[in-house]
């Protein structure tokens, strides 16, 4: 054979002492399995750091005063649990606490019953009418809460516009009592809280693909059944967000129950203001505020067993 002949490449397996191949391995080859999804607080993101000034502001104007309120509930007028014992020893104060949560839950349910069809109507209405419906929702934000409450007093009282109209039409023979009772409180609070229910519902419903309903109907489901089994579950996130907003804000109402409610409809916010401004019992008022906060947090903890509240603060990575 000629010496210039090309020899075949050696295909023998490398020996055990051979050096590893210096070429980089392809992505994913021989690399460890990617770690599982981790949850982290949104402030750990690069963009989340922009919220640090707001977090510092909330620390100064919210967390520090809250700590002072808690401390004062144990130290004013004397050190101990006297303020809390006085609260739970009197059935009057516990009835006020129960009435506060009953009112907040009732307002939440009524706003949901009114807000859900209204938000759905906004999603199916033409653009012009959708803008009109949105303006109707936003108009209350342009008026002071105190002004709206006084306006409701003028509308709902025995000699108000509603009763006078019904009497003139002959629909009623005596004025309907709609102020200084639970009905007036519900009307006033629902009117204030309705936008906080409608807006989250509308934001969620707007993102639901309508083709899912068409697919359900194409498979033989009736429109009402498709709406109940497809659309309603997909809007659950908006229902949860709106209900949480309405419920939490309703617990601290003061002006509307004070103007439209009666002696049997006192809420804890009114009682706190009374203890601070009239009785000057700061320690007991701090205990009332602490009890309201603790009970609210306990209810939120229970609700988090059924609703993923952590999605507001956490994100998937």
Q: Kindly report the average pLDDT of the chain as a whole number.
A: 82
DSSP assignments along 7-43, one per residue? PPP--PPPPTTPPPP-SPPPTTSSPPPPPPP-EEEGG
Provide the residue ranges of all domains of the chain, joining segments of one domain with +.
Answer: 38-75, 90-304
In this model, does residue 29 exceed pLDDT 70?
A: no
Q: What is the pTM of this model?
A: 0.77
Q: Which residues contact 74 (CB under 8 A, 6 or more apart)?
A: 80, 81, 83
Q: What percent of the chain has pLDDT over 90?
A: 34
Q: What is the pLDDT of residue 246?
A: 93
**Which has the closest alpha carbon to 286: 20, 70, 79?**
70
Task: Tell me the per-residue pLDDT of 246-289, one tens digit each, with 9 for 90 and over.
Answer: 998 999 888 899 889 888 888 998 899 989 888 889 999 999 99
In this structure, what token pair is assigned to residue 286?
């701090």
Task: Tell me the per-residue pLDDT of 189-246, one tens digit each, with 9 for 90 and over.
Answer: 999 999 999 999 999 999 888 888 888 888 888 888 888 988 999 998 899 889 988 9
Q: What is the pLDDT of residue 277?
A: 87
Q: If DSSP states are collapsed to H, E and C, what string results for 61-88?
A: HHHHHHHHHHHHHHHCCCCCCHHHHHHH
As a whole number of angstroms, the distance between CA 158 and CA 181 comes to: 12
Q: What is the pLDDT of residue 264?
A: 85
Using CB atoms within 10 A of its CB, is residue 50 exposed (0-12), middle (13-18) or buried (19+)? exposed
Task: Determine whether domain 90-304 maps to CATH 1.10.3720.10.
Answer: yes
In this model, does residue 28 exceed pLDDT 50?
A: no
**Which has the closest alpha carbon to 207: 237, 245, 163?**
237
Is the omega angle on the peptide bond into residue 77 within 30 degrees of 0, that is, cis?
yes
Q: What percent of the chain has pLDDT over 70?
A: 81
């Amino acid at each position: 054979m000629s010496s210039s002949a090309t020899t075949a490449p050696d295909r023998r397996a490398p020996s055990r002492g051979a050096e590893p191949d210096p070429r980089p391995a392809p992505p994913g080859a021989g690399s460890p399995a990617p770690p599982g999804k981790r949850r982290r607080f949104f402030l750990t993101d690069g963009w989340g750091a922009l919220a640090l000034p707001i977090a510092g502001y909330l620390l100064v104007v919210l967390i520090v005063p809250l700590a002072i309120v808690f401390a004062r509930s144990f130290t004013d007028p004397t050190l101990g649990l006297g303020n809390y014992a006085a609260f739970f020893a009197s059935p009057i104060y516990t009835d006020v606490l129960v009435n506060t949560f009953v009112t907040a839950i009732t307002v939440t349910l009524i706003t949901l019953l009114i807000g859900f069809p209204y938000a759905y109507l906004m999603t199916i209405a033409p653009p012009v009418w959708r803008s009109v419906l949105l303006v109707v929702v936003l108009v209350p934000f342009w008026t002071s809460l105190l002004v709206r409450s006084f306006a409701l007093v003028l509308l709902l009282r025995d000699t108000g516009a509603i009763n006078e109209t019904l009497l003139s039409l002959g629909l009623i023979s005596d004025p309907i009592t709609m102020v200084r009772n639970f009905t007036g409180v519900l009307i006033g609070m629902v009117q204030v809280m309705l936008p906080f229910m409608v807006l989250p519902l509308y934001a969620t419903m707007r993102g639901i693909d309508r083709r899912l309903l068409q697919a359900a109907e194409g498979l033989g489901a009736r429109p009402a059944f498709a709406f109940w089994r497809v659309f309603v579950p997909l809007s659950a996130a908006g229902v949860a967000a709106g209900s949480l907003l309405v419920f939490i804000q309703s617990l601290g109402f003061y002006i509307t129950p004070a103007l439209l409610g009666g002696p049997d409809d006192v809420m804890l916010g009114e009682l706190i203001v009374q203890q601070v401004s009239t009785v000057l019992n700061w320690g007991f008022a701090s205990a009332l505020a602490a009890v309201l906060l603790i009970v609210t947090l306990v209810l939120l903890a229970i609700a988090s067993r059924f609703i993923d509240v952590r999605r507001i603060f956490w994100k998937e990575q």
